[in-house]
Chain A
Amino acid sequence: MERDLTARLSAAARASLRWEAGLGLLVIAIIIFGAVTSPQFLTSVNFFNTGVSSGEIAIMALPMTLIIISGEIDLSVASILGMSSALLGYLWARHWPMLAIFVMVALLGIVAGLINGLLVTRVGLPSLAVTIGTLALYRGVALILLGPNTISNFPAGYTNIGINPLPGTQIPYNVAIFVVLAVIFGIVLHFTATGRSIYAMGASPEAALFAGIRVKRVKTMLYVISGLVCALAGVLWTFRLATAVQNNGLGLELDVVAIVLLGGVSIFGGKGTLAGVVLAVIAFAALQNALLLTNFNQEATGIVIGALLLVSVFAPNAAALLHGLPRWARGRPRRAAPSP
């Protein structure tokens, strides 16, 4: 049985490789498209702008990758970002010292993730339902904390992360944080036993349980980490825009899920690599930026991104779908489905 598990995971890794190759080509195609349509696309200033506007989404995509691979989902990420932003503004307006505020915001992220994790693992509710509920709940908390007010008098030392890169380079702070986190998450996912157990529980929760993997504990940890990372994203977002307001990050969870799925992570769990998600982050950010620079109709940018997402979900499942078509659509006798 252990060999089957290993064989399954090898197949998952092999399938992801094909996807990443395609994704790599897509990234190159987008970069070429951007460079051809705008002379400013490949400048370091533009790189800074692109990074700055996608940094938080990219950061939130990292724990989302692990959660989706484990077979769950977390749609409350943007609301945790908004709630953290609201708490940051709320406490700052009451003259708390910034370090104490960071601690409180981190605690808030942990608690928010813990609620998600416990509801999913201990109570056994489907994660889609739970996180849609907490999406609304946490946004409501943000609204209670700040009301319709905006807090914007943060010290320039912090808000400068939105316009100043790391000294000596053109890399924005949130991109640097993303790179560090991506390496950490990548090592955990691909080179540790915990990472392998995440794949296992996504591929088959029962098999993982019987193999001795502590599914509930790992999943709860993933949600807690997601909450903490989203709280970090909330702090970065607030400082970058120099504004704490309750609707910060509204709707971003869809972008985050789109990027993770584009990265080759299967929505059914058990498949995907962090490298793929990193490539998808680059593709997403570069495409948005390239379209923006060509003055493409901003309202239609969503159509392009949405189409990309649909393709990324359809393409890996296309083969399975074709096998599953009824005889009258395929015209050939159905063969037994090959084991993955």
Chain B
Amino acid sequence: MRRTVRRALWAPVVLLSASALVAACSSSGGSSSASGSSSSGSSSSGALKKGLKVYVIPKNLGNPYFTLADSVKTGGALAALGTLGETGTETSGTAATPASQIPAIQAAITKGANALIVSATDPSALCPTLKSAMAKGITVVTYDSDAPSCRDIFINQASSQAIGESEVDLLAKEIHDSGEIGIVSAAASATNQNTWIGYMKQELKKYPKMKLVSTVYGNDDPTTATQVTQGLLQHYPNLKGIISPTTVGILAAAQVLDTSKYKGKVALTGLGTPVAMKKYVEDGTVQSFELWNPANLGYLAAYAAVNFASKKITGASGQTLSAGKLGSFTIGADHTILLGPPLVFTKSNINNYNSWGF
């Protein structure tokens, strides 16, 4: 018996160590394809490069917000890349966590990406991977959610301060400036969420009679968002309003309110997509909410990535980026480009956006 077991043991061990040895000693083929993109003779006034391999890596796949931002049909990032003559691919994990997103980023780098367009699931967990990509000459553009100091350019959908402040102002108007409020957020680590919540807390100081009693996290998952909203409502019977700055969260919260005894008693606002939220605006569960055009965000991110990769911009403050159908943008501080002010949806204009599809 021992001999047979020994034989069984040696074979895989040999296989494993042999392949490890071969892989470790062989020249790395992955880096050579990425180096091709950094060779540039074009000056900053030259034409945009074509045929670049661009990977769009949202927080997770299957998230309607990112489908809007990235797809060809809605005129998002992949549409822009197609217009510019680049090869665009969307990839990511399915859970909106760094552990799920990092393998997709690494695979993109291995496959010879020239540029990455990433919505960061965590401000720091992605940094080592993104920094090593930048060291290889790959353009790294973050959009929607930033990984500060680990990217070349960040496309911010709207001023974070404007989002945070307007969310609180919208809710304050509905609950007449007084009462307990809660926040239904996405993932606890998401950069954009925490930035907006920070500004919300600051704006709340202007409303001394309003109190933030709790922040719960739905992790951009409909089931979790529903459960945490129900928990919030049960735990705080005097809750007057909820802010949900995530399209998955606000939809779940609206569904909970619509089918419960809290309908009409608890106000809801946040960031939502017009077609999905239309029903709740029309039946009064939600009076107003806001967003921006996610497709424009993806479109702008694509143009920024291609321009940076073609060395037409370096991301320095004051430079101008020409973004196709969206016009010209001026780069602001910290290599950030703002898409524009947030758009408020109410009963009066909710039907104008049916073409968005979400």
Q: Is the CB of A20 within 8 A of B8?
A: yes
How many angstroms between the C-alpha atoms of A109 and B99 in the bound complex? 22
Binary contact track A220-259/B, C-beta < 8 Å → 1, others 0: 0000000000000000010001110101111000000000
Binary contact track A49-78/B, C-beta < 8 Å → 1, others 0: 100110000000000000000000000000
How many angstroms between the C-alpha atoms of A39 and B27 in the bound complex? 14
Q: Is the CB of B1 within 8 A of A9?
A: yes
The dominant DSSP class at the A interface is: helix
Q: Is the CB of A20 within 8 A of B30?
A: no
Q: Is the CB of B103 within 8 A of A40?
A: no
- Whether, in the assembled complex, A38 has its beta carbon less than 8 Å from a beta carbon of chain B, the answer is yes
Q: Is the CB of B99 within 8 A of A149?
A: no
Number of A-B residue pairs with CB-CB distance less than 8 Å in the complex they form = 166
Q: Is the CB of A245 within 8 A of B189?
A: yes
Q: How many residues of B contact A (CB 8 A)?
A: 58
| Chain B contacts with A in 1-39, Cβ cutoff 8 A | 1-2, 4-9, 11-13, 15-17, 19-20, 23-31, 33
Q: Is the CB of A13 within 8 A of B1?
A: yes
- Whether, in the assembled complex, A216 has its beta carbon less than 8 Å from a beta carbon of chain B, the answer is no
Instruction: Decide: A242 near B124, CB < 8 A? Known: A53-B106, A163-B132, A275-B8.
Output: yes
Chain B residues with CB under 8 Å of A276's CB are 8, 12
Residue of A nearest to B17 (CB): A179
| Chain B contacts with A in 119-134, Cβ cutoff 8 A | 122-125, 127-129, 132
A positions within 8 Å CB-CB of B: 6, 9-10, 13-14, 16-17, 20, 24, 27, 38-40, 42-47, 49, 52-53, 148-150, 152-153, 159-160, 162-163, 169-171, 175, 179, 183, 186, 190-191, 237, 241-243, 245, 247-250, 273-276, 278-279, 282, 288-289, 292-293, 295, 298-299
A-B contact pairs, 27 of them (CB 8 A): A6-B1, A9-B1, A13-B1, A16-B8, A40-B33, A45-B31, A46-B110, A49-B103, A148-B188, A150-B122, A159-B128, A162-B129, A179-B16, A179-B17, A191-B2, A243-B124, A243-B189, A275-B9, A275-B13, A276-B12, A278-B13, A282-B16, A282-B19, A293-B110, A298-B61, A298-B92, A299-B62
B positions within 8 Å CB-CB of A: 1-2, 4-9, 11-13, 15-17, 19-20, 23-31, 33, 61-62, 89, 91-95, 97-99, 102-104, 106-107, 110-112, 122-125, 127-129, 132, 188-189, 215, 217, 219
